Chain A
Amino acid sequence: MKRRRPSGLPDARGHFGRFGGRFVPETLMAPLIELESAYLAAKRDPKWTRRLRELSTTYAGRPTPLYFAERLTEHAGGARIYLKREDLCHTGAHKVNNVLGQGLLATRMGKKRIIAETGAGQHGVATATAAALFGLPCDVYMGAEDVERQKPNVFRMKLLGARVIPVDSGSRTLKDAVNEALRDWVTNVRTTYYCLGSAMGPHPYPMMVRDFQTVIGREARSQALRTIGRLPDAVVACVGGGSNAIGLFHAFIADRRVRLIGVEPGGRGLATGRHGASISGGAVGVLHGSMSYLLQNDDGQVTEAHSISAGLDYPGVGPEHAYYYDAGRFTFEPITDEEAVEAFSSLTRLEGLMPALESAHAVAYALRLAKTLPRTKSLLVGLSGRGDKDVHVVAKALGMTLE
Chain B
Amino acid sequence: MNRIDDVFTRLRTTGERALGPYFTAGDPSLDVTRRLVIEAARRGADLIELGVPFSDPIADGPVIQRAAARALANGATLVRVLETVAAIRREASVPIALMTYYNPVLAFGLEPFAEAAIKAGVDGVIVPDLPPEEADPLAEELHPRGLSLIYMVAPTSTPARMRTIARRSRGFLYVVSLTGVTGERQELPRELADQMRELRALTTKPLCVGFGISRPDQAAQVARLADGVIVGSAIVRLCEERATSSSLVEDVGDFIADLKKPLRNG
Residue total for B at the interface (Cβ-Cβ under 8 A): 42
Which residue of A has the minimal Cβ distance to B72? Answer: A301
Selecting from A139-147, A180-188, A242-250, A371-379, the interface stretch reads: A180-188
Q: Name B104's contact: one of A23, A190, A299, A303 (CB within 8 Å).
A: A299
Residues of B near A287 (CB, < 8 A) are: 56, 103
Q: Is the CB of A289 within 8 A of B161?
A: no
Bound form: Cα–Cα A345–B79 in Å? 48
A189-B179 contact given A21-B134, A23-B134, A26-B152, CB 8 Å threshold: yes
Q: Is the CB of A186 within 8 A of B180?
A: yes
Selecting from A27-35, A348-356, A385-393, the interface stretch reads: A27-35
Q: Name A26's contact: one of B55, B58, B72, B176 (CB within 8 Å).
A: B176
Q: Is the CB of B130 within 8 A of A23?
A: yes
Bound form: Cα–Cα A179–B101 in Å? 13
Contact code string A302-314 (vs B, CB < 8 Å = 1, else 0): 1100000000000
Smallest beta-carbon distance B81→chain A, Å = 10
Q: Is the CB of B69 within 8 A of A170?
A: yes
Bound form: Cα–Cα A285–B105 in Å? 10
Residues of B near A215 (CB, < 8 A) are: none
Q: Is the CB of A285 within 8 A of B107?
A: yes
Q: Is the CB of A26 within 8 A of B131?
A: yes
A23-49 residues with Cβ-Cβ distance < 8 A to B are 23-31
Count class of interface residues, chain A: 35 or more
A13 beta carbon closer than 8 Å to chain B: yes
Smallest beta-carbon distance A117→chain B, Å = 12
A175-B130 contact given A26-B165, A299-B104, A300-B104, CB 8 Å threshold: no
A296 beta carbon closer than 8 Å to chain B: yes
Interface of chain A, main secondary structure: mixed
Q: Is the CB of A300 within 8 A of B133?
A: no
Q: Is the CB of A285 within 8 A of B62?
A: no
A227 beta carbon closer than 8 Å to chain B: no
Which residue of B has the minimal Cβ distance to A175? Answer: B56
Q: Is the CB of B180 within 8 A of A21?
A: no
Q: Is the CB of A23 within 8 A of B129?
A: yes
Q: Is the CB of B179 within 8 A of A169?
A: no
Q: Name A301's contact: one of B104, B105, B129, B179 (CB within 8 Å).
A: B104
Residues of B near A24 (CB, < 8 A) are: 58, 129, 131
B98-140 residues with Cβ-Cβ distance < 8 A to A are 101-108, 128-131, 133-134
Q: Is the CB of A26 within 8 A of B157?
A: yes
Bound form: Cα–Cα A25–B155 in Å? 12
6 interchain pairs (CB within 8 A)?
A: A22-B133, A25-B129, A30-B161, A286-B129, A288-B56, A300-B104
Chain B contact residues, CB within 8 Å of chain A: 54-59, 61-62, 65, 69, 72, 77-79, 101-108, 128-131, 133-134, 151-158, 161, 165, 176, 179-181
Chain A contact residues, CB within 8 Å of chain B: 13, 21-31, 169-170, 175-176, 179, 182-183, 186-190, 283-289, 296, 298-303
Q: Shortest 6 CB-CB distances between A and B: which pairs?
A: A300-B107, A300-B104, A27-B154, A187-B180, A26-B154, A299-B77
Besides A25-B59, A286-B103, 13 other A-B contacts (C-beta < 8 A): A22-B133, A25-B58, A28-B156, A183-B61, A183-B181, A186-B180, A187-B180, A285-B107, A286-B102, A301-B55, A301-B104, A302-B56, A303-B55
